[in-house]
Homo-oligomer: A and B are copies of this chain.
Amino acid sequence: MSPRRSAAEALRTRDRIIDRSVDLASLEGLEGLTIGRLASDLGLSKSGLLGHFGTKEALQIAALRRAAEIFNAEIWAPAEPAAPGLPRLRAVCAAWISYLEREVFPGGCLFVSATFEYDGRAGAVHALMKRQFHAWDGRLTAEIRAAVRAGDLPADTDPAQLVFELYGVMMSLNHTIQLNGDRSAAVRARRAIDRLLAG
């Protein structure tokens, strides 16, 4: 049926596969993502699709990387113009809540579901996820420290403690939106963040 595509078109095909993988994985989980379903959704054969990645694990990793790019574009990039420290921290949290509220991923934040799906299992997916969370920990911690230096947060602030609580708010928001379909929980998240970041 479909003959060979040009290199440029092949890249677009690969792109479409990853995009659809991210959406499907957010709905069904990274493990529930199946090659057959994905192929039929995109009008490809399983073998043609898998040719782009080799293994399912490689596809999962590609999806996770793409999700990280989207996350960065949604949360960190908009906050970039803000001044380091508390202003940027506030911008990050606002973008984060908005990202959950708008359901950028149809089944909720892919990292939240993936971390609870893969926290126990070993393997490349687990390792990559751990690295990604660690990177975000680092970025958040850096901003918190800057805010403390600037006097915008109390001097005795424990960055790890604050990061821990920030994650909690975001996970609870993701949970409420996805389980109960209650997007208005975003106002509760904003209130919680306001209290956490009050100087």
Contacts and interface: CB of A to CB of B under 8 A. Distances in A.
A46 to B, nearest CB: 21
A185 B27 CA distance: 29
A100 interface: no
Contacts of A135: none
Interface string A139-181: 0000000000000000000001100110111111111101110
A176 B171 CA distance: 12
A176 B115 CA distance: 10
A31 B28 CA distance: 10
A133 interface: yes
A15 interface: no
A39 B167 CA distance: 38
A129 interface: yes
How many identical subunits does the complex contain? 2
Given A168-B171, A168-B172, 19 more contacts: A31-B32, A108-B120, A112-B116, A116-B117, A116-B178, A119-B178, A120-B178, A160-B188, A161-B188, A164-B173, A164-B192, A165-B188, A167-B168, A167-B172, A167-B175, A168-B168, A168-B169, A171-B171, A171-B172
Contact of A115 (B115, B160, B175): B175
Interface residues of A, number: 40
Nearest to A176: B164
A130 interface: yes
Contacts of A161: 188, 191-192
A3 B67 CA distance: 53
Interface of A: 27-29, 31-32, 106-108, 112-113, 115-117, 119-120, 129-130, 133, 160-161, 164-165, 167-176, 178-180, 185, 188-189, 191-192
A120 B27 contact: yes
Ranked nearest first, the 9 interchain pairs of A and B with the lowest CB-CB distance are A168-B168, A168-B172, A119-B178, A171-B171, A113-B116, A119-B179, A164-B188, A167-B172, A107-B120
